[in-house]
Chain A
Amino acid sequence: MLEKRTDSPDQSVEEVFREYGNMLYRIAFVMMKNAFDAEDVVQDTLIKYMERRESRKPFETEEHRKAWLIRVDINLCKNRLRFYKNHPKIGMEELSRYYEEKEDTKLMDSLLLLPSKYREVLLLHYVEGYQGKEIAGMLKLSESAVRKRLERGRGKLRALLQETE
């Protein structure tokens, strides 16, 4: 008789979703600018996670698991963005459903207007709390490139916010 696995993939995907679902969705939403793609990306990220589990490649630490999920999430977003560049889709998700304050909608609208390379570093640094070195590791960039993107992204965000005031 087969021994029952205590960490069955089904349980595990739910646990991972409970732990990191909001973060993965938030990143995907900011990258893709709509809920439909964000949902799909999170789903695909979790499928990749399951495949990795099936191939029995363990994570060294919980931080390693989290960073791996973020990297896969962002890469899947980038694949879609490259596709949509050639085959545009219609409409942009209404952000206002998340916000009552007009100021917050304006801030998020401005963030979404930034090119994706700035959006991803700003989100990882200011929202997810990662440092430059960690972001560099996740995005396979040099630390100085991350610093530059953060600096330029901040500048562009500030300029956009001033424009709309």
Chain B
Amino acid sequence: MEGRTWNGNETAKEEQNVSEQSAESRLRAAAGRIAPDEAAGERIIDGVKQRTHGRKKLAFRVPAAVAAAWLFLSLLCLTRPGLIGEDVVVYAATEEHGWQKLVEGERILLKMEPFESVGEGGDIEAFDETGRCTYYPYICTFRLEVPENYLYDRQFTTLRDDYIGESGGKIIWQVAPDRPEDAGRIMQEELSLWIVNENRERMAALKLELTKEDGKCYAELKRVWESEAYKRGRHKN
């Protein structure tokens, strides 16, 4: 009897091993099929190139004359009417003026609304033993307006412990408590937000510069770019 039970358990174990092995190989094969398609691959590479080009310090590699010509042409392009976005509009929640439309080059102070609380006792540490932020006392909010038939290509970035991302047509900046070692530091990050058509082709983009200084949050619209196709489509509407 004992022997039979033992054998039975062994058989069950063997069967389980076989079924686990088969599930593992199925998992390997199934997950292996997940891959970006060609268009996604191109989007990824293009995105990396565009975003890193914006961050790189080019001065020491580009000859001065080329840099000057490039600067002149950029200024010429930026001042041409019609090149700056007209339909892609960002509003930020502010203490003073409510929803305030962001204008290129104008830095505004954001309203910091209470978000997470540490509870009545206030005994939760802001940072855990691994140094990770555990709660977010404030959020700043931006509202976006884009023409019909266009979508946001979800974008996300971090600024020290803060998270900034798109959620339900709004940009939420989840603000972490200040770390003592950051006192007096100015922290800055850029968020690029893409506007895409139904085929996920990038039609327009806007870049927000987000700054945290002395516990206050500021935003500045750095640039709105619209593709030729987007502009043509907009005028048709």
On chain A, the number of residues with a Cβ less than 8 Å from chain B's Cβ atoms is 51
Q: Is the CB of B167 within 8 A of A87?
A: yes
Q: Mark B1-42, 1 if CB is under 8 A from A, else 0.
A: 000000000000000000010011011111111111000110
Contact assessment for A2 and B30 in the assembled complex, using a CB-CB cutoff below 8 Å = no
Is B47 among interface residues, defined by CB-CB distance under 8 A? yes
Docked CA distance A102–B36 (Å): 21
Nearest opposing residue in chain A for B200, CB measure: A36
Contact check, B44 vs A9: say whether CB atoms are below 8 A apart. Answer: no
Which residues on the B side are within 8 Å of A103 (C-beta)? 26
**Residues of chain A contacted by B174 (CB below 8 angstroms):** 83, 86-87
Q: Is there an interface contact between A50 and B48, defined as CB atoms closer than 8 Å?
A: yes
The 8 A CB mask of A43-61 against B (1 = contact, 0 = none) is 1101100110010000000
Q: Tell me if A157 is interfacial: C-beta within 8 Å of chain B.
A: yes
Chain A residue with the shortest CB-CB distance to B194: A40
Pick the contact of B28: A43, A44, A127 (CB < 8 A).
Answer: A127
Residues of A within 8 A of B (CB): 2, 9-10, 13-14, 17, 21-22, 25-26, 29-30, 35-40, 42-44, 46-47, 50-51, 54, 79-80, 82-84, 86-90, 98-99, 103-104, 107-108, 111, 122-123, 126-127, 154, 157-158, 161
Known: A13-B49, A21-B36. 5 other contacts (CB 8 A): A30-B34, A39-B44, A83-B172, A90-B168, A127-B31
Residues of B at under 8 Å CB distance from A? 20, 23-24, 26-36, 40-41, 43-45, 47-49, 51-52, 55-56, 61, 115-116, 136, 153-156, 158, 163, 165, 167-168, 172, 174
